[in-house]
Homo-oligomer: A and B are copies of this chain.
Amino acid sequence: MASRPAIPKGTRDFSPEEISRRNYIFDTIKSVYRSYGFQPIETPSMEYLSTLMGKYGEEGDKLLFKILNSGDFLADAGPDVLTSHDAGHVAALLCEKGLRYDLTVPFARYVVQHRAELVFPFKRYQIQPVWRADRPQKGRYREFYQCDADVVGSDSLLYDAELVQMVDQVFRRLQISVTVKLNNRKILSGIAELLGQAEKVTDLTTAIDKLDKIGLENVNAELLERGFSAASVARLQPVLQLSGSTEEKLSAIAALFEGTSETGLKGVAEMREVLGYVTDMQVQTAVEFDLTLARGLNYYTGTIIEVKANDVKIGSICGGGRYDNLTGIFGMPGLSGVGISFGADRIYDVLLQTDGFPDSTTETTQVLFVNFGGDEMRAVLPLLSEVRRAGISAEIYPDPLKMKKQLAYADSRRIAFVAILGGDEMASGSITVKELATGQQTKVAQRDLVDFLLNR
């Protein structure tokens, strides 16, 4: 291969520095998940296409990466494969597996498959890559990590509030200022009922979800286009123009639901209960009720959560919600759950832009032992072993090159200390330690080296 090697579009290599930074995000999220009693699971990268297909809408099916069957896949596919010009049909004949598209469907599959071993409510977290054959663009990748936590097997709204508390804790630890927006799918259904068009709740939410982006006038135009009557749109106006505090908004909308929508009233009651718990839990992040929030995902049935960074324009960096029937598609109905997902890539970009990564995230060697060759080198080896056994990351330069070259290596690797064991030091059982940042040199007894380094 003569040409310079490359990696597929939309995928990435991660350097040591990028890994350390990403782990800083993962570790923060994990430690919060754990302190709430969530336990990790992992699922295979590939699932049967029968598990994945039809769960993400028509567009989602197209974005699944499909894996060619192994062995003699052509013969196994039958003669049809050579005559059909329908790509979807041919793909189904050639492929029975696909790469995971998200962590939610594999989790639902996991719960149903392992139900006998699980204790409910089952709280799991999962941090793994997912793959989507999306058009690659800035900030959108074909392989990226999701960081999900879900609890299934309980209707308790305490869990909805706990997810808000977890969001609060994660972003305070990362020192990212955020706003949490909450809504409830039942309030959205209530609004559709209020307009007398309960069956059009998806059209309604798709349109009003854009209020922030395209403005009231364009939303109204889109609603008319989507088949809402002019009377309905007129009736919607006081709802879309609600103002005041969260409690004022909830009271106003509850008054509208009174006598017209039981579902809407239930949504308001759930929202109040969740907000009450959030207060009791001493959440410090700003939490707002936003009735335009829909998140486009039809499987939410209760609370909807979305988090935005206050200081960086980047869209949602975390989101989630409650669903009543996620495992129903796999033959286990009636299991309610609620979950959240942190967008690690966007959080990474926020921290880059706000200079929010701690300085020490990149792990590197702490001490480089200079290599003088011969006896001096061999005298270094047991010392090096001792330093490493003490948990200090250390190296010896591999060849007895000029000191200058060895120091240049230490410098470019950002190694803090250089340890020098030459003829003088051998004779006196000592070793010289040089701190590269200050140039300060200290001669210590070889037996005191570990203590000396641990005290730095």
Instruction: Name, among A119, A124, A169, the residue most crowded by chain B CB atoms within 10 Å (CB to CB).
Output: A119
Contact in complex: B91, A331 (CB < 8 Å): no
> Does residue A139 face the partner (Cβ distance < 8 Å to B)?
no
Chain B proximity of A298: nearest CB distance (Å): 18
> Does residue A437 face the partner (Cβ distance < 8 Å to B)?
no
> Does residue A70 face the partner (Cβ distance < 8 Å to B)?
yes
Bound complex: CA A87 to CA B114 (Å): 37
Nearest B residue to A67, CB-CB = B65
Nearest B residue to A366, CB-CB = B37
Q: Which of A11-68 contact B (CB under 8 A)?
A: 11-16, 19-20, 31, 34-37, 39-48, 50-51, 62-63, 65-68
> Does residue A90 face the partner (Cβ distance < 8 Å to B)?
yes
- Cβ contact of A388, chosen from B35, B46, B124, cutoff 8 A: B35
Q: Which residues of chain B are within 8 angstroms of A330 by Cβ–Cβ distance?
A: 1, 4-5
A19-B40, A19-B42, A409-B119 known; A8+B129 contact, CB < 8 A: no
Nearest B residue to A330, CB-CB = B5
Contact in complex: A37, B110 (CB < 8 Å): no
> Does residue A258 face the partner (Cβ distance < 8 Å to B)?
no
- Cβ contact of A112, chosen from B4, B68, B396, cutoff 8 A: B4
This chain's copy number in the assembly: 2
Chain B proximity of A165: nearest CB distance (Å): 7
Contact in complex: B7, A48 (CB < 8 Å): yes
Which of the 9-residue segments A222-230, A235-243, A264-272, A275-283 touches chain B?
A: A275-283
What mask results when residues 59 to 82 of chain A are scored 1 for a CB within 8 Å of chain B, else 0? 000110111101111110000001
> Does residue A248 face the partner (Cβ distance < 8 Å to B)?
no
Contact in complex: A41, B68 (CB < 8 Å): no
Q: Which of A353-401 contact B (CB under 8 A)?
A: 363-365, 371, 377-378, 381-382, 384-385, 388-389, 391-396, 398-399
Bound complex: CA A156 to CA B96 (Å): 48
Contact in complex: B1, A393 (CB < 8 Å): no
Bound complex: CA A144 to CA B382 (Å): 36
> Does residue A412 face the partner (Cβ distance < 8 Å to B)?
yes
A44-B12, A48-B6 known; A395+B67 contact, CB < 8 A: no
- Cβ contact of A1, chosen from B46, B123, B165, B331, cutoff 8 A: B331
A36-B388, A388-B36 known; A7+B47 contact, CB < 8 A: yes
10 closest residue pairs by CB, A with B? A156-B398, A11-B44, A16-B39, A37-B365, A70-B133, A280-B381, A37-B395, A14-B42, A66-B68, A154-B398
14 CB-based A-B contacts, threshold 8 Å: A7-B48, A8-B48, A8-B97, A34-B363, A37-B365, A46-B65, A46-B131, A66-B68, A75-B87, A94-B94, A154-B398, A156-B399, A158-B396, A281-B382
